[in-house]
Amino acid sequence: MARLSRDEMRGKAQTVLGLVDPAELGSTIMHEPLLWNVTPPGRRHEALTEPLDPGRYWKYLTAQDDNPANTTQKDVGVATRAVEEFVAEGGRTVVELTIGGLEPDPEGLAQVARATGAHLVMGCGHYVDDYQDPANEDRTVDSFAREMIDQVQEGAWGTGVRAGIVGEIGCVWPWTEKEKRVLAGAVIAQQETGAALTIHPARHEDHPWMLVEFLRDRGADLSRTIIDHIDRTIFDDDRLFRLADAGVVLEWDLFGQEATYYGHADIDMPNDGARLKAIRRVLDRGHRGQVVISHDICHVMQLSEWGGHGYGHIHRSVIPLMRKRGFTESEVAEIMVETPRRLLTFICGGATQREGGAGRPCAPSASSLAGRLAGRGCVRPSAPTGASGGGWPTRAPGSGPAASRTHGRRSAGASGRL
Ligand SMILES: [Zn+2]
């Protein structure tokens, strides 16, 4: 398979169909599975043996029924309809983070992209420890790094389809040694490829800060690192502001999930209004450009065709709610278009950028994996690329379903680590 050089990637975004001008990305949701299996590996043999029953909707939503058919979605046709709904509501790009342990299907994503015209940007790397392939047990940091670099530059999971972002790198509590090795490899992949890094933190409210310290120690670019699932992890402003002040990007990616009866932990899951209030506080503190949002739909009952909120929810309901709550058009565009575009644009960064070398080739980094192994490393990325252009898309008149939506959620037993 042809291998892209970092000079070919620099300044571009990478979808499952190839490199694109980042100005084309438009309104973007940053954290979604489209083709997934979040059923714990030990239960996958029973998947799909019992069909879903719409009459058990509430039981699925509240983890009283953990039917694996709810946690498995491998149908390209279903994913295509879901993305068509997203596009009809005004969306343009979906970042798809089904990675190692969750049965990624790069070719299936390419089919969905061709059928819908949407941009799909695929992740890479590995999910939480007990979902990982047992073959990962003794792998080194460099082995994980090399795999992720190859997934971005050459192709992922045995295909020629390339990843456009590193992650979501999975972590649980207590944080495992294997997960630390994967994340250390992901930092090298970030430095080497100029891609952004997105991380699924453990549920412990102090874990995101442990991530920041881990990342700093390894020279990660925090401005191009996303801490996912803030909604279910951080419940106080001290921790929230400390993270924001560190310079990472904060992701509220459970929009549409509002259930009090949350199966994974005894928390009060915020509703969409509370999510927007938290985002408001972060923006008011001056952290423009550090917020992205998504739905993280990974249960079949969350799909519109099963009565769930679906991938169009943010465009259909949340963006209008933002406006009602006083978000400016500039702030909405920043969250939906500009910050995703900055993150999805490959950079070279570091010394090369500071030396004013926009047209210069990326220099190898002595500390990067490739710097050590092959001299093809990218200097540690630092500043945003400052890509410009691409306005806020308006919703196509009369498009999209008008039906009211209910709230999806995860079922605890079938996907205990999410
Ligand atoms: Zn996650």
Per-residue pLDDT tens for 268-305? Answer: 999 999 999 999 999 999 999 999 999 999 999 999 99
Domain ranges of the chain: 23-46+54-346
How much is the pLDDT for 216?
98
pLDDT of residue 11: 97
Looking at domain 23-46+54-346, which CATH architecture does it have?
Answer: Alpha-Beta Barrel (3.20)
Distance 202 CA to ligand 1 centre (A): 9
The average pLDDT across 30-36 equals 98
Other Cβ atoms less than 10 A from the Cβ of 345: the count is 26
Residue 385 sits at the vertex; the CA angle it makes with 380 and 386, to the nearest 5 degrees, is 155
- Report the alpha-carbon distance of residue 303 to residue 307 in Å, rounded: 7
What value does the mean pLDDT take over residues 381-393?
Answer: 41
Poorest-pLDDT segment among 42-46, 186-190, 316-320, 352-356: 352-356
- Ligand 1 centroid–CA 389 distance in Å is 31
Task: Of 70, 75, 76, give the one whose Cα is nearest residue 43.
Answer: 70
Averaged pLDDT score across all residues of the chain? 87
125-134, 138-147, 150-159, 406-415: least confident range: 406-415
At 351 the pLDDT is: 34
pLDDT at position 136 over 90: yes
Q: What spacing in Å lies between the alpha carbon of 131 and ligand 1's midpoint? A: 12
Query: Which string of DSSP letters, residue by residue, matches 151-188?
Result: HHHT-STTSSPPPSSEEEEE--SSPPHHHHHHHHHHHH
> What residues contact 61, with CB distance under 8 A and at least 6 apart?
259, 261, 301, 406, 407, 408, 409, 411
- Surrounding residues of ion ligand 1, Cβ less than 5 A: 168, 200
Cis peptide before 51 (omega within 30 of 0): no
Residue 366 CA, ligand 1 centroid: distance in Å: 32
In the reported structure, the alpha carbon of residue 352 is separated from the centroid of ligand 1 by a whole-number distance in angstroms of: 33
Span from the CA of 167 to the centroid of ligand 1 (angstroms): 9
Mean pLDDT of 251-256: 98
Centre of ligand 1 to C-alpha 17, Å, is 24
Q: What is the pLDDT at residue 367? A: 53
CA of 265 from ligand 1 middle (Å) equals: 15
pLDDT score of 264? 77
- For ligand 1, the distance from its centroid to the CA atom of residue 243, given in whole angstroms, is 18
Q: How far is the CA of 168 from the centre of ligand 1 (A)?
A: 6
Higher pLDDT, 350 or 275: 275
Specify the pLDDT at position 402: 32
358-381 confidence digits (pLDDT tens): 445 676 554 555 555 444 334 333
Mean pLDDT of 83-99: 98
258-261-267-271 Cα dihedral, nearest 10 degrees: 10
Residue 378's nearest CA partner among 122, 188, 145, 147 is 188
pLDDT at 353: 38
- pLDDT above 60 (res 90): yes
